[in-house]
A and B are shown apart, each in its own frame.
Chain A
Amino acid sequence: MKIYVTGIGVISAIGLNVAENLQALRNKQSGVDNITLIDTNIDVPVCEVKQSNKSLKEILGLPKEKTFSRTALLGMAAAKEALSDADIDLSKQRTGLISATSVGGMDLSENFYKTYKEDKNKGRLREVASHDCGDSTEKIADYVGITDFVTTISTACSSAANAVILGARMLQNGLLDAVIVGGTDPICRFTLNGFNSLMILDKEHCRPFDESRAGLNLGEGAGFIVLQREDTLSKKPYCELKGYANANDAYHQTATSPDGDGPFLAMSEALKSAGLKITDIDCINAHGTGTGNNDLSEGKAIKRLFGNDIPRFSSTKVYTGHTLGAAGGIEAVYSVLSLMHDTIFPTFNFNTPINELNISPETELIEQAGIKTVLSNSFGFGGNVSSLIFSSK
């Protein structure tokens, strides 16, 4: 049973909607900049959505006095755009929302905790009420009018790719007719300090697959796509979700195995599930975070799987930073855009291949690229690895 993409929505450091993101991707405009929205001593560049919660509420037409986590606000923007794009009649199609996040409402609970820690009778309870991951999903569902099914996935940086996988399977099992899938994550002090303590934040613009790479740039945003079955399509689809796979690297809580066993498994199983050969993949949207560990093991896995036929590949994290639980959703949107516009969005600041790999991502925008099938990778802490394959064939 074929699963199609009929709607896309995204908000990131390079734009508040699909059109703005596409323009920035084409113009090689990165969202990397100094931190302006959170109070922190950590001095690293990040990729922020340059809108305060207050202005996001205004854009979304939400009541000023109500409290929403940034996770929910970013998610609402992208999910609403994706759903409007798909033009689904919610009264006729059983429609679900499967969202993903790595931190839930932490952006508010860390404010609460600061006050609470000093005095247990203080701290605004409305700032901790949205702490759990389900809160943002239910706020998004309420905002876009979804009541049939909701759930939330959190498998670190592979979260949103797993939301796509679950959505596709629920359609295939006939449990839903349409589903909005993706993820949302804000930058907060918690994750900023977490990645800083792991010493994997680059002090400069991240450089995926480059010998000089020194870590990732944190990003924030949300990306959602709408999936429908062949028999429930409400419009001409953008492309097909041709295959997917989820596996576990089972090597270390935070590091990927040196030879990329998990990534290799995810990519090869995704190919199998799509019924495709390695030569059918025209382009890879790599996980490519810019950390020493990820890019080396992902690169090794790519070399192992594709041998001498490595497809053109790129990491769009040079534009958006690493958006953690949202990354798989944002990059699913970018993969669909690649197919729609037959364009590869480059890793434009790449200079020197990693010695051990000697492979290079695309560095220039390629239009009329002749791409029909894109593989998108998302790997996370806890060994969670997932790959998605989109095809316009």
Chain B
Amino acid sequence: MYYIQSISSISPASTFRTEEFLSSPLEEKEGYHLSAIEPDYKEFIADANLRRRMSRIVKMGVCAALDCLSRAENNNPDAIITGTGLGCLADTEKFLKSIIDNEEQLLNPTAFIQSTFNTIGAQIALILKSNNYNFTYVHRGFSFESALLDAMMLLKENKAENVLVGAMDEITLTSADIMRRMGFWRKGVKMGEGAQFFVLSNKKSHTDYAVIKYIDTFLLSNNISPEKRINQFLERNGLSTENIDLILTGYETDLLTLDSLQNIPNASFKPVCGEYQTAASFGVWCAANILKRQAIPSSLKASESLNLFNRILVYNPYRNTNHSLILLEKA
């Protein structure tokens, strides 16, 4: 069993360090993207020089990670596993720009150093002085899912008793502009960003949020429909659609095209967090909250009124190519 001991989120909604759960209604915002509401980082990253060197994604990731650990009263997790779809975009662009502007002469290496995809996992390890297992996954809509799968395997293998696992992505002006040019936003879902972290443990405690039971990822292929894959996933784990109280989906409305899933109540999390490669981590953050509080906020737009939650399936089809299924249960 994989118990969620603590959670933390920095997102476009007020999610960081609040006892509320998406209680304020969604504000309609102009433009193509939803920016994260960033906290004052001083408390978590005290060193001003360090803070200045860190780009937004690094600060968001490190801060959510440290908050999550402090909530679990853990300062030395057995493993640190992160996922990111596009990594440190701002630093990547900064270094690219300096290569051109300075014609490859006398470049400052800081942006290059900070641009690597494992920067957040590395910074967390540095701050905690942790020599433990440390991994970074970077596969589009599977980045967070791979990190979670790895964490679950570590707990199952008894190589860890508790794991810090999370994911983050950032929007930059350039990435938002390029995605707009690519026509990513025709369907009305805005681009988003954020960082979500979780402490998973193989030991039950009375403050657990929820239990993660199963995970699966698949590439959409011509041979097999998402519907069939979802049914296979449930069947393989001894479940049917009747056992699912809610599908929390990354779709807006497309889920309704999947016939056999139509009878399950559904809700969607991307209107709140926006679309990004690791948005499923926000879906899991929502599911954990719903299972613990036994209530669902209106901003998640549930298809019917619900007040009892035993099992939630987070289904995220990232750009309809990377599909992921994460099943959570009440702790």
Contact = CB atoms under 8 A, between A and B. Distances in A.
Interface of A: 40-42, 101-102, 104, 110, 113-114, 116-117, 120-121, 125, 128-129, 131-135, 137-138, 141, 147, 149-156, 162, 166, 169-170, 172-173, 189-190, 193-194, 196-198, 246-254, 261-262, 265, 380-384
Contact of B132 (A116, A129, A196, A248): A248
B112 interface: yes
B66 interface: no
Contacts of B221: 147
A145 to B, nearest CB: 10
A305 to B, nearest CB: 15
Interface in B85-101: 85-87, 92-93, 95-97, 99-100
Nearest to A114: B100
A133 B113 contact: no
B130 interface: yes
Interface string B158-170: 0000000000000
A155 B177 CA distance: 28
A162 B137 CA distance: 10
A125 B182 CA distance: 7
B118 A154 contact: yes
Nearest to A104: B138
B186 to A, nearest CB: 15
A248 B130 contact: yes
A248 B122 contact: yes
A249 B100 CA distance: 33
A154 B147 CA distance: 12
B116 A42 contact: no
A152 B138 contact: yes
A297 B103 CA distance: 34
Contacts of A166: 135, 150
A153 B137 contact: yes
A99 B108 CA distance: 30
B119 A253 contact: yes
Given A102-B116, A156-B116, A134 B122 contact: no
Contacts of A196: 104, 107
Contacts of B97: 113, 117
Top 7 A-B pairs ranked by shortest CB distance?
A: A382-B122, A194-B112, A134-B140, A154-B117, A197-B109, A152-B139, A197-B107
B135 A162 contact: yes
Given A250-B128, A250-B130, 19 more contacts: A42-B104, A114-B100, A132-B86, A137-B139, A150-B142, A152-B146, A153-B135, A154-B136, A162-B135, A172-B157, A189-B104, A193-B95, A193-B104, A194-B113, A196-B107, A198-B112, A246-B133, A382-B116, A383-B125
9 contacts: A41-B105, A121-B181, A125-B178, A125-B182, A152-B139, A169-B157, A189-B104, A250-B129, A253-B119
B112 A197 contact: yes
A87 to B, nearest CB: 22
B138 A125 contact: no
Given A113-B96, A253-B126, A156 B85 contact: no
A132 to B, nearest CB: 6
A344 B150 CA distance: 34
Contact of A134 (B109, B142, B177): B142
A138 B131 contact: no
Nearest to A199: B109
B264 to A, nearest CB: 26
A169 B156 CA distance: 11
Nearest to A193: B99
A154 B99 contact: no
A204 to B, nearest CB: 20
A251 B137 CA distance: 21
A382 B218 CA distance: 30
B219 A131 contact: no
Given A169-B157, A253-B122, A384-B118, A150 B107 contact: no
A153 B136 contact: yes
Given A141-B219, A248-B131, A261-B131, A153 B138 contact: yes
B213 to A, nearest CB: 15
Contacts of B126: 250-253, 383
A250 B221 CA distance: 41
Contacts of B108: 197
A169 to B, nearest CB: 6
Nearest to B183: A125
A10 to B, nearest CB: 22
Interface string B194-237: 00000000000000000000000111010100000000000000
A149 B138 contact: no
B121 interface: yes
B219 A138 contact: yes
B80 interface: yes
Given A125-B182, A190-B99, A133 B117 contact: yes
Contacts of B132: 247-248
B126 to A, nearest CB: 6
Contacts of B109: 194, 197-198
A40 B99 CA distance: 10
A380 B133 CA distance: 14
A126 B163 CA distance: 38
B303 to A, nearest CB: 31
Given A134-B138, A173-B156, A193-B95, A247 B107 contact: no
